[in-house]
Chain A
Amino acid sequence: MSVPSWINAKLVAGSTVILFVVMLGLLGPWIWDTTQARVASCPLNLPPYGFSPPNLTFQPAQLAHPLGTESSGRDMLAVLITGTPNSLLVGTIAAGIGIVIGTLLGLTAGFMGGWVGTLIRVMSDAIITIPSLVVLIVISSYVREISLTSMGLLLALFAWPGTTRTVYAQTLSLRERGYVQMARLSGASTLSIMVFELLPNLMPYLAACFTASVSGNILAATGLEALGLGPSRIPTLGMAISNAVRGAAILRGMWWWWGLPIAMLILIFSGLFLITIGLDEVANPRLRRSEGNAR
């Protein structure tokens, strides 16, 4: 054990990827002219530098737009630099709020039971039964201009009930464990048992929920954007993809238009996934193989 246990190759790799995306957002404007992510700021339909698609009538690639441009005159590099962190932000806001609220309510319902638990469960069940699309569209018609934050909050409205339910079920099963009884015998309050005894054991599952939820919410945002109901001036990966779909990018052979944003989505997802696996191994000592032999 010469290396501290939290230094885990997967965790480090995943964090590096996510950090890279965050840094893109923070430093992007210094390394690249991100105003080129706006409509009509560049020549249209340029292929990435070094590529010359044989089939269609594209202008020659320019070094000024190394990843090419799309058909509304947005520079793809600028779109990626601003859009990737933006998408991550929307997903994180929605997933973060959803997981936190869902976990709190699920733990409460599972551990306290009674009418509080019933109320929480009825509420979450009712929200689950409602098709979110209806509500999202209705609410989005009230918001003057949809910002990244309001988009994240909107999506968070529907991110919590699922978590509530699964955490509730988990809590029911965990709370009969011996260590919960021990904690009770040690005079721990209900709240402290929920937070210090149950929560850590839910962590691997919650981390997985979070990873899934971040990408799920990015996709949900993409769906809203594809329906034309997202923020239109702030670039996100979803906006880039839905523009590509609307602009027949595949048929036109403009792979850079749809392929690059998807590559960035995969990057975000992989980063979060690595972090999840890494966290599991750090947080759940039994998974550490080197130590497992002591058993």
Chain B
Amino acid sequence: MSTMRGSSLAYLIRRLAMFALTIWLGLTLMFLIPRMAPGDPIAAMVARISSQAGRVENSEQMIQAWRTRFGLDAPLYQQYGRYLWNSLHFDLGYSMAYFPMKVEDLVRAGMPWTLALLSIATVLSFLVGSTLGALMGWPASPRALRLVLPAALCFTSIPPFMLGILLIYVFAFGLRWFPFAGAYAHEFPPGRNLDFVFSAVHHGILPATAIVVTTMGFWALGMRAMMVTTSGEDYMILAQAKGLRPRRLFWMYGVRNAILPQVTSLALSIGGIAGGSVLVEYIFTYPGMGYLLYQGIVNNDYALIQGMTSILIIGVATAVLIVDLAYPLLDPRIRRGDL
């Protein structure tokens, strides 16, 4: 009997090892990639300082002083070691471009907004898109529905930032239903009160709509394809023959089986949360992480890029791990001895 327990435990151990390996690889890549860029964060910082403060004769000396301060004069392997160690401790250090701000503080300011906006929008988009896709792929859907739904998908081909502008133009500028931009009315600073919550929701609706409407098509397409495959399966024919109610057939047999690959994709889409929202955040002047990451990149702010990406990497890897561990529960056809 012990061998049986063992195989399950061995699976878990192997999966955890993969998890660690993934994080290590991701962190390593994010250590190397910004350093491959031709810019130098300290020089960029000094250049910015001197552009603000007039000519500096001793810039080389200034750069050196900052290099030492950020530990960039240490050999690369030492920097790498320190980086891995600090990442695992969530010690993200000081931002280079916004010194003496700590990366942690910068991220903490942007994270809640991005998480709230994008996670809600992503989940909504997933649900709406998957439902649309399921209806489209379902042979028994009403004909009218099957004609109308693809039209809804056309929004998918519009860039989200463009749609964002159109939404603002129509609903904020024209109809004045929603505020132009920002995350909350600044009469109501963040706090535990209804006014703030209301104003945050009010501000979030347009950007969320832009994201949902432009991304739901991807979920719909995937879902439709899986639904098409599923509806041809024999168990569906059997279920049909058993005389199950169409509604039950749709949800329990069709959707339930078709949605599995979608769940994987949903976990993966977390990775896009910061990077994918730069432009939407920009259009809606939303104080999220996307803009922060973008600024980190254009300023070559290693600390900021690494700090933000290590959070993302660990977050995505964890989501993927959870999906992988839960997958056999959702789909008993997958035997997990075969990692």
Give the residues in chain A near B334, CB-CB below 8 Å.
Answer: 169, 172-173, 176
Is A169 a contact of B260 with CB atoms below 8 Å? yes
Given A172-B338, A212-B222, A165 contacting B268 (CB threshold 8 A): yes
Contact with B along A209-227 (1 / 0, CB 8 A): 1011001101100110011
Please determine whether B154 and A129 come into contact, CB atoms closer than 8 angstroms: no
- B25, CB-defined interface residue at 8 Å: yes
CB-CB under 8 A from B237, the residues of chain A are 295
Closest CB-CB distance, B290 to chain A, in whole Å? 8
Comparing B87-95, B200-208, B271-279, the segment that makes contact with chain A is B271-279
Find out whether the CB atom of A212 lies under 8 angstroms from the CB atom of B313.
no
In the bound assembly, the distance between CA atoms of A98 and B103 in angstroms comes to 34
Given contacts A176-B335, A226-B279, contact A265 B158 (CB under 8 A): yes
Known: A211-B221, A222-B159, A250-B166. A123 touches B25 (CB 8 A): yes
Contact check, A226 vs B265: say whether CB atoms are below 8 A apart.
Answer: no
Pair A266/B154 contact, Cβ less than 8 Å: yes
Cβ–Cβ contact A262 & B279, under 8 A: no
Residue A212 contacts which of B162, B221, B294 (CB distance < 8 angstroms)? B221
**Interface contact A262-B271, CB-CB below 8 Å:** no
A201 CB-CB contact with B under 8 Å: yes
Q: Are A134 and B305 in contact (CB under 8 A)?
A: yes
In contact, B22 and A126 (Cβ under 8 angstroms): yes
What residues on B are CB-neighbors of A284 within 8 Å? 228-229, 232
Q: Does B261 contact A (CB under 8 A)?
A: yes
Does B317 make an interface contact (CB < 8 A)?
yes
Residue A70 CB within 8 A of the other chain: no
Known contacts A129-B313, A245-B165, A250-B165; is-contact A223 B150 (Cβ 8 Å):
no
B-side binding surface: helix, strand, loop or mixed? Answer: helix
Using known A-B contacts A122-B25, A135-B33, A266-B157, determine if residue A130 contacts B271 with beta carbons closer than 8 Å. yes
User: Does A30 lie at the interface of the complex (its beta carbon under 8 Å from any beta carbon of B)?
Assistant: no
- A118 lies within 8 A of chain B by Cβ: yes
Complex Cα distance, B294 from A209, in Å, reads 28
Contact of B279 among A142, A207, A223 (CB under 8 A): A223
**Separation of A215 and B335 alpha carbons in the complex (Å):** 35
Contact between chains at B33 and A134 (CB < 8 Å): yes
Instruction: Report Cα–Cα, A274/B309, bound state, in Å.
Output: 38
Q: Which residue of A lies closest to B237 (CB)?
A: A295
- For A147, list chain B residues within 8 Å (CB): none
| Dominant secondary structure of chain A at its interface with chain B | helix
A163 vs B153: C-alpha distance in the bound complex, in angstroms? Answer: 21
CB of A129 within 8 A of CB of B33, answer no
Kindly supply a per-residue 1/0 record for chain A positions 133-158, scoring 1 wherever the CB is within 8 Å of any chain B CB and 0 otherwise: 11101100110000000000000000
**Which residues of chain A are near B214, meaning CB under 8 Å?**
219
Q: Using a Cβ cutoff of 8 Å, how many contacts connect chains A and B? A: 195
Q: Given the complex, which residues of B lie within 8 Å of A133, measured CB to CB? A: 275, 278, 293-294, 297
Known interface pairs A141-B37, A212-B218, A245-B161. Does A128 touch B271 (Cβ–Cβ under 8 Å)?
A: yes
Measured CA separation A197–B139 after assembly (Å):
25
Q: Is the CB of B279 within 8 A of A166?
A: no
Within 8 Å of chain A (Cβ to Cβ): is B36? Answer: yes
Do A126 and B309 form a contact, CB below 8 Å, given A173-B333, A212-B217, A212-B221?
Answer: no
Contact A280–B228 (Cβ < 8 Å) = yes
Beyond A128-B320, A238-B159, whether A134 also contacts B309 by CB under 8 A is: yes
Chain A: minimal CB distance from B90 (Å): 16
Does residue A107 face the partner (Cβ distance < 8 Å to B)? no
The CA-CA distance from A142 to B335 in the complex, in Å, is 45
A128 contacts B169, C-beta separation under 8 Å:
no
By size class, the interface of chain A is 35 or more
Select which of B161, B297, B309 is within 8 A of A226 by beta carbon: B161
A206 to chain B minimum Cβ distance, whole angstroms, is 8
| A129: contacting residue among B26, B157, B293, B305, CB under 8 A | B26
Q: A101 — which chain B residues lie within 8 A by C-beta?
A: none
The answer to whether A266 and B158 touch across the interface, beta carbons within 8 angstroms, is yes
* Structural contact, B265 and A162, CB atoms closer than 8 A: yes
Cβ-defined contact, B261 with A205, below 8 A: yes
Looking at A125, A142, A273, which has the most chain B CB atoms within 10 Å of its CB?
A125
1/0 contact trace for B137-158 toward A, CB 8 Å?
A: 0010000000000100110111
Complex formed: what's the CA distance from A289 to B153 in Å?
Answer: 24
Q: Which chain A residues border B228 with CB–CB below 8 Å?
A: 204, 280, 284, 287
Q: Does A268 lie within 8 Å of B157, measured CB to CB?
A: yes
A169 touching B36 in the complex, CB below 8 Å, given contacts A118-B339, A133-B297, A226-B279 = no
Q: Is the CB of A287 within 8 A of B139?
A: yes
Would you give the shortest CB distance from A126 to chain B, in whole angstroms?
4
CB pair A125–B320 under 8 Å, yes or no, is: yes
Residues of B within 8 A of A73 (CB): none
A103 at the B interface (CB under 8 A): no
Interface string of A181-194 (1 = CB under 8 A from B): 00000000000000
Determine the chain A residues whose CB is within 8 A of the CB of B293 once the complex forms.
131, 133-134
Asked if A276 and B18 sit within 8 Å, CB to CB, the answer is: no
CB within 8 Å for A129 and B159 given contacts A113-B338, A166-B265, A284-B228? no
Q: Does B73 contact A (CB under 8 A)?
A: no
Query: Which residues from B are CB-within-8-Å of A65?
Result: none
A128 touches B268 (CB 8 A): yes
Q: List 30 A-B contacts (CB under 8 A).
A: A122-B21, A123-B25, A126-B26, A126-B29, A129-B312, A129-B313, A131-B271, A131-B274, A131-B308, A131-B309, A134-B30, A134-B33, A138-B33, A141-B39, A142-B38, A166-B261, A205-B225, A208-B222, A208-B225, A209-B221, A212-B218, A218-B157, A219-B214, A223-B161, A238-B159, A245-B162, A269-B157, A273-B221, A280-B228, A284-B229
5 A-B pairs besides A135-B33, A215-B157 with CB distance below 8 A are A126-B313, A137-B297, A208-B225, A212-B222, A216-B218
Closest 3 pairs between A and B when the two form their complex, measured CB to CB: A208-B225, A269-B157, A131-B275
